[in-house]
Structure 1
């Protein structure tokens, strides 16, 4: 699986596990909601700074957003 798809899957899974909407996550991470949506659909690749902001907003490490889990 491509890293962008892995990130997208992990981002959505972690956001939903925290019970956050895309808008709430975007607010906490100080990024645009439409960007969160695009990241979850693997339309864009995030910068390392954005990965860090999202990880902090989700209360996790950036590495967890990039980790591949077996299916």
Structure 2
């Protein structure tokens, strides 16, 4: 499994654990829901700043997102 797919699966698992929809995350990041979907499927990549913003938005550390 490549790193983008692994990261996306981690994002999805954390999002579901926090009982958030893709739409909820998209609103917090000020992006479209389909962008969140593409990240979760490993189709899109996030910048380091984007990863930091995502972690803060869903209440986890960057380390937790990337482990």
What is the TM-score of this pair, normalised by structure 1? Answer: 0.85
Moved over 3 A (4+): none
Q: Let me know the Cα RMSD of the aligned residues.
A: 1.1
Report the Cα distance in structure 2 between the residues aligned to 1:52 and 1:30, rounded to whole angstroms. 14
Q: Which runs of 5+ in 2 are unaligned?
A: none
What is the TM-score of this pair, normalised by structure 2? Answer: 0.90
Listed as ranges, the matches of 1:1-71 within 5 Å are 1-67=1-67
Q: Which runs of 5+ in 1 are unaligned?
A: none
Aligned residues: 67
